[in-house]
């Protein structure tokens, strides 16, 4: 089906084929610093703040196509729509990391859904 856009064109959808065994329904990428520290002066005011070791976390939700899904400890790659991941310390749309959690949910009148969580640290190559 061909889309029709009116007004300002914005990013839409997820993109096909992101995780081979899932029909991806949603994803989120959250990035922050894994190592932070502050120094306060004698009056309790923060005078120094240090932020180091960028860490990104990916969560993918989808409907299972197959019985096999990415396994704990496996590497996973994913392409986000915005530069919200930090491989090698620079903002990027490409996430690469290690699967750290897999949730499987089934219902009596519904499709099996799977949630996969993965972590990535800026100085680790995946």
Contact at 8 Å (CB) between 25 and 64? Answer: no
pLDDT at 11: 77
Q: Is 25 left (phi over 0), alpha (psi -120 to 50) or beta?
A: alpha
Contact at 8 Å (CB) between 59 and 28? Answer: yes
Q: Of 70, 63, 60, 72, give the one whose Cα is nearest residue 28.
A: 60
Provide the pLDDT confidence category of residue 1 given band limits of 50, 70 and 90: low
CA distance linking residue 96 with residue 89, whole number of Å: 12
Residue 63, strand partner residues: 23, 113
Using one digit for the tens of pLDDT, what is the confidence trace for 68-115?
A: 889 999 999 999 999 999 988 899 999 999 999 999 999 999 999 999
Instruction: Identify the residue whose tokens are 């992101």.
Output: 18
pLDDT > 90? residue 52: yes
What percentage of residues in the chain have a pLDDT greater than 70?
Answer: 98
């Amino acid at each position: 089906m061909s889309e029709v856009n009116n007004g300002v064109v914005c990013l839409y959808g997820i993109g096909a084929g992101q995780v081979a065994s899932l029909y991806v329904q949603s994803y989120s990428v959250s990035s922050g610093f894994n190592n932070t520290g502050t120094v306060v002066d004698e009056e309790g005011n923060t005078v120094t703040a240090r932020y180091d070791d960028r860490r990104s976390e990916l969560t993918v939700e989808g409907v299972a196509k197959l019985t096999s899904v990415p396994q704990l400890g496996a590497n996973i790659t994913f392409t986000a729509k915005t530069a919200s991941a930090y491989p090698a310390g620079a903002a990027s749309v490409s996430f690469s990391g290690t699967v750290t959690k897999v949730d499987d949910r089934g219902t009596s009148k519904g499709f099996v859904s799977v949630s996969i969580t993965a972590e990535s640290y800026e100085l680790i190559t995946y």
